[in-house]
A and B are shown apart, each in its own frame.
Chain A
Amino acid sequence: MKTPVKMWIVCLVAVITIVSGFFAWRASASSAWMSTVTQNEKNTLLYAENSLALAVEEANARLNELVENSVIDSPESVRAVVDRAALLFRDGFLYACFFGPDGELVASKGAKVPEDFVLTVFYDTLFYSEGYALSEISYDTGTLHLQTAILLEDGSIVLVGQDVLADFVRRLNAALGREYGFFYGDEERFAPFPFSSRSAVFFEEGFRDEYSRMFTTAVDSQRPSAKLFSLRSGRSLVTSTALYDADHWDVKGFLVQVTPESFWKKGSDRLDWFVWLGSLLSCFVAPFFLIRLHYRERTADRSPRLRNASLFYAIAAFFPIYLFFLYGAFLLAPSLLREYESSSVLANGSLLQQDIEYRFDHIALSSKSIIEQMKRATRDDYRICPVDQTSRFSTVTTLSSRQERLISPLAPADSSGAIEIGTLSIDRIGQTYVRFRSRELDWQVLHEDTFVSNEILSVQFLGVILLLAFLAVALIFGFLTRHLHNRLLIRNTLFGYLFLAPALVHLIWWAAGPLGFSLFLAFRRWSIVDPAKPFVGFDNFIELFQDGNFWNALKNTAVYSLYVPIGMLFSLLLAMAVNKAGKIAVALRVLYYLPVVTAGVATTIVWKWIFNRDFGILNYILGWFGIGKIAWIDSPQFALLSIMIISIWQAIGSQLLIFLAGLQGIPIDFYDAAKVDGAGKYKAFRHITLPLLKPTTLFVLVTSIIGSFQVFTPVYVLTQGGPLRSTDVVFYHIWKAAWTEMRMGYAAAQSWILFLLLMVLTYFEFKLYGKDSWQAYF
């Protein structure tokens, strides 16, 4: 049997769909990959910047100590200080000078002394420094170097210049494997400062504008900014951070990090291989199974076994895709992203260890502040503990006591050399840690995994969506294949879905994604302000089941929804009463609609008055029947009932309209026939009106009950959930959990419980009605 052309077309379309599906996945995966790479590179740059800051701290500390231990009261002592400075700062020593209180240069040592230092902004800044040493990078003497200065009590200044930046760049290069360079100037006028022959690597004049834009972003947001460039040496990711003056206000220059493509190419290549392999495989498997299905359809008989088999074939056709998506989203992408993060954290850690070894002479004196500065620079959390129990240093940490309480044990993954790397979690938020010993202390640096976790989450989310989409695709292609020759069926299906398309597209676009997201959230914890969304399993649901208030609210809501059938009957009778011509009927219809357009405040006042215990009409009327005064809204027993009454009253207007429309659909002939048969009004109502209105009443019942379970504002405005929680409703809990307690995950869990409950209820409502087309009666 020849395969018809149509079948080949179907296969072609299937192949195109598969390929686009894979490419969609790849687009999201590679954007997550590059995002992770960029973020980690920015983080590494922060560690590099921190390294510079530590050097600066050390210079400041040295100068502080020098001045503290010196007595400066004579020209000889001034000379002595300058000499001692030259000795102390011998690494890359450029100059040391002493300026008197009126800014004149008193003594100096070294070449290229900045004589007009007093004209600089740095000089002004020193006067607000409260006597502590400050440092800045400076270009004053034609070379980019580090200036450290301190203001003495009498207004004189000691200034030291060190050419340490070239060494610094070399060290970074060696430790981290990336290229580094400095720029001097601000975001609009800047120039690269060459430290080595490799300096050409990180700047090309042709890119000046783009560099300027990158620098501007870094300066404005005060965070590293990154951009991909195609430099002569190849594609690179350039990350830059602004270096400020001692005041942390003016921009003096930029530290730039160039990460060559080799760092991330392997990951990109893996993704590419995966996508090509997957799509090629799927493109062979899908047509294979579809054609086989087609043959079976043509040759076999119409047994029920065939239907199941064709489903099997349809799913089998796309089976590789499911596997690939699942593998890609849940195994490949996470491991790829986390690997990069780990290697980056390890590199950062090793740089940090070197820095600490290199610089921490004064750790005992200022450990807490230095740790805080490191945390400020890198945003990671630090802990140090003494290795030796008898050490006099106590544990210094930037973690809060609560975090300390909720930290999980270390789970080491690897140790390369002196550094151990692993994972742990604090309050379920995953962290990657590095651990090393330095100067008799045990250092732990914790890096929050949230960014990478969120990227992985987005890849997984898209993966699941694509999976579901391809399940639908499988069904569609299976259907097409099976009924390839049934033109009528295909046409009907096509037109059916075409008519349905606008509504369906809108639904999937606006409702499906958010729905899926809320399902994800129900198993996580998210406080909105904190981007971390750690997985908490069933915790939300367990907490939910133990929350008595929630179940009380659910009970209240369920009781409240009982008003719906009562209200419906009422509205139906009213609809029949006003379903006639004449000005009175029209006037009544409009009047009954007024509650819908009346502002809540007025409604509340009137009903509070009606329900008033002492002056209210209701109690007045009840008094005629000898019933005692009821404190309607203020009593726990009757508050809910009051609200139900008000709700019935408010629903009349809307339900009236629907029932009116429904009543128009009943031909008058039926009533005439009934009259001829001698049936009375009641019989006509029971046997003609009610059955023929079934579609309408089903609609009103289902939608009103759904609406009643989601009631919030009317109740809240009137009673705020009281008295004694008797009018507390479920939606209010969800609202409060989301917006006031800022616990989106918990709110999602509550929403899903409500959702499931409503589904069950609605199912039973449909069952109650049976067949819902009155065609069944004819």
Chain B
Amino acid sequence: MKNTLLKGNWIRVIIAVLLILALSTAAFGKTKLRVTTWAGAEEAALDESIIAEFMRLNPDYEVVYEAVASDNYYQKILTDIGAGTPPDVILLDAEMIPKFFEGDFLTDLAPFLSRLAREGYGGSNVYEYFPVLVDIARIDRKIYSIPKDTSPMGVFFNKKMFDEMKVPYPDEDGWTINQFIETAKALTKDLDGDGKNDTWGFAFPSWVGIAVPLLWAGGGEVFSPDFSHTSGYLNSDINVKTYQTYLDLLKEGYAPTPQQASALGGNSALFYTGKVGMILTGRWFNVSIKGQIAKGLDLQVGIASLPFADINKKDTVSYLSGWSVPSNVQDKRGAVMLAAFLSSDYAQRKRCLEGSLAISANQAVAQLQGENDPLDAAFIKMLDYSRVPVGSQTKFYRPKFEDLWAEAFDKINVGGESLRSVLDWMASEMDKAIAKGES
């Protein structure tokens, strides 16, 4: 009696195990090309339709699209690379290109693109893109990345707040630091008379990605022209003067302290809830704002350039991402074709016109974007005087420069040190790191 019962049970267990094993080893189709991006759920949907179109136009190819949550993107592709199975097309930040370029890891796309362009293949004509964006990944005549889209940096301002406090809008063609200071002061008010400010002029720009273009806008530089050192550039008098202006505004209460900002939900929340009149950030913020307005947020937004020290010397940065191909892929031509298609007219229209996710790197599509949305038009104008991000020129930017800046700001904000001493410290640390050759 006992034995048969046991046998019955064991048979069920064995069947279950076999079923599990069978289901477990089911692989999902044969892959020929893999492309990885850091898209979120909505962007992934758009990308998938673009890839479906690629597969329709090129039936020989099968593409697997791997979207990875952006925080873990580099861990995933580095694991793949370290194991010897890199994806065929990789989306890369401009700041990561120097590192990836190191071991001869990326393919020079120029010869492929020129031939594809002659055949009229979508996305391969280098002249269709904004020159500054192609230059980001260009070394001599070699191109290592096809630009995807870009986000220049600017100032978002709350039109309603400006109207209520009767503050004039910033000039469309650009404004000076002094004008910025006055605007910030005018927007800071103590509405309920409790001695504490309830609205502030602007959210303080402590993130390195906005600090560097601010320093540029102030007329200073951060690295030496050959990127061999930062002393004399990062801690120059101009930079101290520029950033000190903003720090003074912070000290005098025209911007919430980082602690206050964090308690109230961060810079974006401050802007949404009308607590700050201006926020200095990139075009990507437009996406969140549109989303919130669609959900009922009562906000009208305008765009201004970053404040310049000299209105005739305009300078800003445009961050971008681009598609690259590792040099040890199985099918180089196919990979380059895919990479080009992912930036082609079709793709750009889908992502940037329909999805409005960023400013298209393709000049024609960007123009259309500008016609659809005055905010985008303002950003596109900035591309005229944008520069490549400093991180795309040197491998010491990420993470060394970024980490040092965060620590430097901490020293000023929490430690109470002076800007000059902190910048001196930072420049010497950077130079030590560059000299050692480690990042």
Of B158-166, B373-381, B407-415, which stretch is located at the interface?
A: B407-415
Size category of the binding interface on chain A:
35 or more
- In the complex, which of the residues B103, B263, B399 contacts A531, with contact meaning CB atoms closer than 8 Å? B103
B333–A220 contact, CB under 8 A? yes
A189 contacts partner chain B, Cβ-Cβ < 8 Å: no
A765 contacts partner chain B, Cβ-Cβ < 8 Å: no
**Min distance, Cβ B61 to any Cβ of chain A, angstroms:** 11
B262–A634 contact, CB under 8 A? yes
Interface residues of A in 739-766 (CB under 8 A from B): 739-744
Q: Which residue of B lies closest to A723 (CB)?
A: B414
A724 contacts partner chain B, Cβ-Cβ < 8 Å: yes
Of B74-82, B175-183, B216-224, which stretch is located at the interface?
A: B74-82
**Min distance, Cβ A51 to any Cβ of chain B, angstroms:** 21
A631 contacts partner chain B, Cβ-Cβ < 8 Å: yes
Of A98-106, A347-355, A522-530, which stretch is located at the interface?
A: A522-530
B99–A220 contact, CB under 8 A? no
Most buried by B among A221, A402, A613: A221
- In the complex, which of the residues B74, B82, B263, B330 contacts A744, with contact meaning CB atoms closer than 8 Å? B82
- In the complex, which of the residues B81, B111, B330, B411 contacts A529, with contact meaning CB atoms closer than 8 Å? B81
Fill in one digit per residue for B317-342: 1 if any A CB lies within 8 Å of its CB, else 0.
Answer: 00000000000111111100000000
B118 contacts partner chain A, Cβ-Cβ < 8 Å: yes
What are the residues of chain B within 8 A of A742 when measuring CB–CB? 78, 99, 439
B103–A631 contact, CB under 8 A? no
What are the residues of chain B within 8 A of A527 when measuring CB–CB? 99, 102-103
B407–A741 contact, CB under 8 A? no
Distance of A634 Cα from B259 Cα, bound (Å): 7
Distance of A527 Cα from B103 Cα, bound (Å): 9
Interface residues of B in 385-414 (CB under 8 A from A): 398-399, 406-407, 410-411, 413-414
Q: Quick one: given A248-B111, A724-B410, are A221 and B332 in contact (CB under 8 Å)?
A: yes
What are the residues of chain A within 8 A of B118 when measuring CB–CB? 128
A16 contacts partner chain B, Cβ-Cβ < 8 Å: no
- In the complex, which of the residues A223, A379, A529, A608 contacts B102, with contact meaning CB atoms closer than 8 Å? A529
Distance of A221 Cα from B103 Cα, bound (Å): 18
**Min distance, Cβ B253 to any Cβ of chain A, angstroms:** 15
Fill in one digit per residue for B94-129: 1 if any A CB lies within 8 Å of its CB, else 0.
Answer: 000001101111000001100100100000000000
B42 contacts partner chain A, Cβ-Cβ < 8 Å: no
**Min distance, Cβ A163 to any Cβ of chain B, angstroms:** 28
A248–B74 contact, CB under 8 A? no
Q: Quick one: given A247-B115, A722-B414, are A532 and B103 in contact (CB under 8 Å)?
A: yes
A725 contacts partner chain B, Cβ-Cβ < 8 Å: yes
Distance of A723 Cα from B411 Cα, bound (Å): 9
A510 contacts partner chain B, Cβ-Cβ < 8 Å: no
A662 contacts partner chain B, Cβ-Cβ < 8 Å: no
What are the residues of chain B within 8 A of A613 when measuring CB–CB? 259, 263
What are the residues of chain A within 8 A of B415 when measuring CB–CB? 724
**Min distance, Cβ A549 to any Cβ of chain B, angstroms:** 9
Specify the main secondary structure of chain A where it touches its partner: loop
A298 contacts partner chain B, Cβ-Cβ < 8 Å: no
A222 contacts partner chain B, Cβ-Cβ < 8 Å: yes
**Min distance, Cβ A225 to any Cβ of chain B, angstroms:** 10
Distance of A433 Cα from B119 Cα, bound (Å): 43
A406–B437 contact, CB under 8 A? yes
Interface residues of A in 217-248 (CB under 8 A from B): 217, 220-223, 247-248
B78–A528 contact, CB under 8 A? yes
Distance of A223 Cα from B107 Cα, bound (Å): 12
A736 contacts partner chain B, Cβ-Cβ < 8 Å: yes
B438–A743 contact, CB under 8 A? yes
What are the residues of chain B within 8 A of A217 when measuring CB–CB? 330
Q: Quick one: given A249-B115, A529-B105, are A741 and B399 in contact (CB under 8 Å)?
A: yes
Interface residues of B in 36-92 (CB under 8 A from A): 74-75, 78, 81-82
B414–A724 contact, CB under 8 A? yes
What are the residues of chain A within 8 A of B75 when measuring CB–CB? 739
B330–A220 contact, CB under 8 A? yes
Q: Which residue of A lies closest to B82 (CB)?
A: A528
**Min distance, Cβ A192 to any Cβ of chain B, angstroms:** 25
A44 contacts partner chain B, Cβ-Cβ < 8 Å: no
What are the residues of chain A within 8 A of B74 when measuring CB–CB? 739-740
Distance of A636 Cα from B437 Cα, bound (Å): 32
**Min distance, Cβ B80 to any Cβ of chain A, angstroms:** 10
A608–B263 contact, CB under 8 A? yes
A612 contacts partner chain B, Cβ-Cβ < 8 Å: yes
- In the complex, which of the residues B104, B111, B398 contacts A740, with contact meaning CB atoms closer than 8 Å? B398
Q: Quick one: given A613-B259, A736-B399, A744-B82, are A636 and B414 in contact (CB under 8 Å)?
A: yes
Q: Which residue of A lies closest to B398 (CB)?
A: A740
Fill in one digit per residue for A715-735: 1 if any B CB lies within 8 Å of its CB, else 0.
Answer: 000001011110000000000
Q: Quick one: given A221-B330, A402-B437, A724-B410, are A530 and B103 in contact (CB under 8 Å)?
A: yes
Q: Which residue of A lies closest to B75 (CB)?
A: A739
What are the residues of chain A within 8 A of B81 when measuring CB–CB? 528-529
B410–A723 contact, CB under 8 A? yes
Distance of A262 Cα from B398 Cα, bound (Å): 51
Distance of A402 Cα from B415 Cα, bound (Å): 37
Distance of A62 Cα from B262 Cα, bound (Å): 70
Q: Which residue of B lies closest to A376 (CB)?
A: B108
Q: Quick one: given A402-B437, A724-B415, A739-B75, are A529 and B263 in contact (CB under 8 Å)?
A: no
Q: Quick one: given A128-B118, A744-B82, are A221 and B329 in contact (CB under 8 Å)?
A: yes
What are the residues of chain B within 8 A of A636 when measuring CB–CB? 414
- In the complex, which of the residues B115, B399, B407 contacts A248, with contact meaning CB atoms closer than 8 Å? B115
B332–A220 contact, CB under 8 A? yes
A529–B414 contact, CB under 8 A? no
Distance of A613 Cα from B257 Cα, bound (Å): 13
Fill in one digit per residue for B261-279: 1 if any A CB lies within 8 Å of its CB, else 0.
Answer: 0110000000000000000
Q: Which residue of B lies closest to A531 (CB)?
A: B103
Beyond the given A128-B118, A406-B437, could you list 9 further A-B residue pairs with CB under 8 A, ordered by the A residue number?
Answer: A223-B328, A402-B437, A529-B105, A613-B263, A615-B263, A635-B414, A723-B414, A724-B410, A741-B438
Chain B residues packing against A (C-beta within 8 Å): 74-75, 78, 81-82, 99-100, 102-105, 111-112, 115, 118, 259, 262-263, 328-334, 398-399, 406-407, 410-411, 413-415, 437-439
User: Nearest 5 CB-CB pairs, A to B?
Assistant: A530-B103, A220-B331, A723-B414, A249-B115, A634-B259
A-B contact pairs, 12 of them (CB 8 A): A128-B118, A217-B330, A220-B332, A402-B437, A528-B81, A529-B103, A530-B103, A531-B103, A608-B263, A613-B263, A722-B414, A725-B407
